[in-house]
């Protein structure tokens, strides 16, 4: 037990804040991406927005160099996790264990497919609690993830201090 608690000790400290310019630019990117998805929702009458997309923006604009923020991870992670959620919903219904299994399987399958994207870990919960159907994979998941990714590609590369993506595959 002592060994376990010794792992909780650390000599490291939190990284320094990134500064106003980087942070402000990141916030503006998130604002623009969610604005685009929300306006698409408003003008088409179709729901293209879901809560996990806010967290996707934190990664895509706040830490664009992270492996978890790359286009493959954003799009693939959301699709994989949503499909897992749908399978759990169809097979097990809206139960505590389908929610738990959905999140656990989504994590494992995202890792196995190289598409790990933490915000997508919430997708099975959204799918199961909302009793979503297969069309949910396309709208809002695929369309919303594509819009955010396209804006991240354009916006992050406007800055001379950023390069996005780090990799495609």
Give how far Cα 153 sits from Cα of 18, 70, 116, 134, 137, Å.
21, 10, 19, 28, 22
Tell me, yes or no, whether 7 lies in a domain. no
Number of domains comprising the chain: 1
Tell me, yes or no, whether 15 lies in a domain. no
Q: Say whether the peptide bond before residue 7 is cis (omega within 30 degrees of 0).
A: no
Expressed as residue numbers, the domain containing 85 is: 21-158
Tell me, yes or no, whether 60 lies in a domain. yes
pLDDT (tens digit per residue) in 1-27:
788 888 888 888 888 888 899 999 999
Comparing CA positions, the residue from 49, 65, 54 lying closest to residue 27 is: 54
Helix spans in the chain (H): 2-6, 20-44, 52-57, 71-92, 96-113, 123-129, 143-158
Q: Answer whether residue 89 shows pLDDT above 80.
A: yes
* Residues listed for the chain: 169
Tell me, yes or no, whether 166 lies in a domain. no
Tokens (6 digits) for 165: 């993506």
Tell me, yes or no, whether 10 lies in a domain. no
The position carrying tokens 């595959």 is 169
pTM, to two decimals: 0.93
pLDDT (tens digit per residue) in 92-135:
999 999 999 999 999 999 999 999 999 999 999 999 999 999 99
Tell me, yes or no, whether 64 lies in a domain. yes
Burial 102-121 (b: 16+ CB within 10 A, else e): bbebbbebbeeeebbbbbbb
For the chain, the farthest-separated pair of C-alpha atoms sits apart, in whole angstroms, at: 59
Q: Say whether the peptide bond before residue 140 is cis (omega within 30 degrees of 0).
A: yes
């Amino acid at each position: 037990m002592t060994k376990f608690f010794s792992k909780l000790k650390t000599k490291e400290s939190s990284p320094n804040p990134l500064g106003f310019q980087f942070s402000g630019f990141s916030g503006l990117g998130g604002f623009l991406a969610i604005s685009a998805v929300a306006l698409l929702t408003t003008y088409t009458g179709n729901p293209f927005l879901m809560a996990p997309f806010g967290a996707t923006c934190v990664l895509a604009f706040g830490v664009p160099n992270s492996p978890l923020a790359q286009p493959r991870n954003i799009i693939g992670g959301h699709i994989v996790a949503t499909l897992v959620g749908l399978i759990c919903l169809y097979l097990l219904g809206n139960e505590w264990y389908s929610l738990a299994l959905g999140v656990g399987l989504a994590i494992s399958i995202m890792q196995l497919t190289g598409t790990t994207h933490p915000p997508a870990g919430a997708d099975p919960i959204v799918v199961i609690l909302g009793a979503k159907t297969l069309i949910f994979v396309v709208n809002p998941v695929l369309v919303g993830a594509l819009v955010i990714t396209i804006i991240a590609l354009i916006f992050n590369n406007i800055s001379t201090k950023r390069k996005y993506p780090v990799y495609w595959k």
